[in-house]
Structure 1
Amino acid sequence: MAKPATLITGASGGIGLALAEIYAKNSHPLILVARSEDTLTEIAARLQKRYDIPVKPIALDLSAPGATAELYSQLAADQTPIDQLINNAGFANYGTFHSIPTDRQLDLIDLNIRVLTDLSQRFIPILLQFPNSRLVNVASTAAFFPGPHMAAYYASKAYVLSLSEALAEEYRTTHLAVCALCPGPTKTGFQDRAQMQRSRLMQGQFMTADQVAHAAYLGIQSGDPIIIPGTMNRFLTWLPRIMPRTALARIIAGAQEPV
């Protein structure tokens, strides 16, 4: 790939796929990473044909031991230039804290925190080689709140937001902009995997993945340090500044109780 590529993890569905679509539409070569080889190969072929750009699919479970090192080594060996990294891979668990299997909680922490941190640290030296490069860490509006019934997920996204804000300042005087993408609840398969269908919160009307990706793309290219798609979502993230956190926790608990 002569033109630097955008590397997107968790690219087989939801916001990751929507971001791949809009990046392809804007002529960015792509490297797409996800677990499902068949789905990823199909997506890559479709985007390549539709937008006439190079798309490299890499089927990999990033939470597997050594997977992040394997991904980095493969791309380094190919001398693939990368000027944008979008850390989108992640998942959630829903339920009373002690009722969720411990290994599921630790898997969440591993993917949402360790993998994101690992890839960021490995690829930042590469990103710094290019003008107008971007590191995008997908957090959530959940990062701003305590999250009863999804405690580990909310906490993991708070980590992502805090890390991204710190890195944005560390690299402020370089060509690298670090962005935290904080979508609110979005219509994707994410909720099904988290078994959140019975949550009160999931009964509302939300942005689509395409709407989130469109707003995200504009913010990313502008280098905005925090990107919150949707007017209502931006308003809600102000609440922690004016309300006690105990009250916020109670509100979130009520919103996420089973119907």
Structure 2
Amino acid sequence: METLSKTALITGGSGGIGLELAKLFAKDKYNLILVARDEVKLMSAATELMAQYNIQVVTLARDLFKRESPFEIYDELKSKGVTVNVLVNNAGQGEYGEFSETDINREFDIIQLNIGAYISMTKLFLQDMLIRNEGKILNVGSIAGEMPGPWQSVYHGTKAFVNSWSEAIRNELKDTNISVTVLLPGATETDFFNKASMQDSKILETGLSSPAEVAKDGYEALMSGDDKIISGFKNKAMVAMGNVTPDSMAAENMRKQQEPSDKG
């Protein structure tokens, strides 16, 4: 596969699943654009990737909680004549707690990050892909989007949007050479739980997926042009069970998995 001149843009690319995806693209000689808020972590990731894989890495320290950030990213790359062949929408966060008690402003930020940034980044870079009739888009959804999620109700709702929306735009693009793939991980060993203040959740006791394994599943599905990949046998089983379980029962089961450990 000749990919020497191709470039992948990855949001949330400084750690976790995003960084593991970056390594897979770099191994296949894609140049990279990594987007995240922490400039120090971005530079550390870029240095490692450039040294190990002999590729070019551009870092963009941007806050995707801000509505204008995707437009700034697009304009900057456009002004430099950079072509994005693969877009990976990966950055996302959650907020832990019962909805009646959580911070509404934090939840609006999460909606912007998990939905708004995905829409904006895709809308902008898809226009150029359509002109070239070439491109790939990987949206990191979640098995959380396949079931109601007490104690993380807004997060589950945002991922339900990502899962559904990804399938819809894939269908709209079926007569083009542009593919859309959605990756559905389960609970994964990343910084997600610290950012969501979920250190006391029972879900941490169930065993977490490896971000490298999740990234490998997503990368292979993307390169194969698949529409959707659920990462991990346990997660596939959970989604299959959820598909035949009434929503009220699925919500109760998820509540028991995500509630704080001191709930019994």
Query: Taking structure 1 as the reference length, what is the TM-score of the superposition?
Result: 0.96
Q: Which residue of 1 aligns with 2:120?
A: 118
User: How far apart, in 2, do the equivalents of 1:231 and 1:2 lie?
Assistant: 34
Q: Conserved in 2, the CA contact under 8 Å of 1:4 and 1:80?
A: no
Alignment of 1:173-188 (within 5 A): 173-188=175-190
Q: Which residue of 2 aligns with 1:9?
A: 11
Q: Which residue of 2 aligns with 1:144?
A: 146
Moved over 6 A (4+): none
User: How far apart, in 2, do the equivalents of 1:130 and 1:206 lie?
Assistant: 40
Q: Which residue of 2 aligns with 1:195?
A: 197
Residues 131, 214 of structure 1: CA spacing in aligned structure 2 closer, same or farther, 3 A cutoff? farther
Q: Which residue of 2 aligns with 1:230?
A: 232
Match of 1:83 among 81, 85, 90: 85
Q: Percent identity?
A: 36
Q: Which residue of 1 aligns with 2:219?
A: 217
Counterpart of 1:59 in structure 2: which amino acid?
Answer: A
Match of 1:128 among 101, 123, 130: 130
Match of 1:57 among 56, 59, 83: 59
Could you report, residue by residue, the CA deviation over 1:80-136 in whole angstroms, capped at 9, with x for unpaired residues?
011100001110001011211110111111111111111111110222345652111
Q: Conserved in 2, the CA contact under 8 Å of 1:3 and 1:81?
A: no
Q: Conserved in 1, the CA contact under 8 Å of 2:17 and 2:215?
A: yes
Q: Conserved in 1, the CA contact under 8 Å of 2:115 and 2:161?
A: yes
Residues 219, 65 of structure 1: CA spacing in aligned structure 2 closer, same or farther, 3 A cutoff? closer
For the residue of structure 2 that corresponds to 1:128, the secondary structure is helix
Counterpart of 2:186 in structure 1: which amino acid?
Answer: G
Q: Conserved in 1, the CA contact under 8 Å of 2:67 and 2:117?
A: no
Gaps of 5+ in 2: none
1:26 aligns with 2:28: yes
For the residue of structure 2 that corresponds to 1:7, the secondary structure is strand
Give 1:4 deviation, angstroms: 2.4
Give 1:65 deviation, angstroms: 4.1
Q: Conserved in 2, the CA contact under 8 Å of 1:60 and 1:67?
A: yes
Counterpart of 2:247 in structure 1: which amino acid?
Answer: R
Gaps of 5+ in 1: none
Could you report, residue by residue, the CA deviation over 1:25-45 in whole angstroms, capped at 9, with x for unpaired residues?
121110000001111012112
Q: In the comparison of the two structures, how many residue pairs are matched?
A: 259
User: How far apart, in 2, do the equivalents of 1:241 and 1:147 lie?
Assistant: 14
Counterpart of 2:151 in structure 1: which amino acid?
Answer: H
Counterpart of 1:37 in structure 2: which amino acid?
Answer: E
User: How far apart, in 1, do the equivalents of 2:235 and 2:134 lie?
Assistant: 27
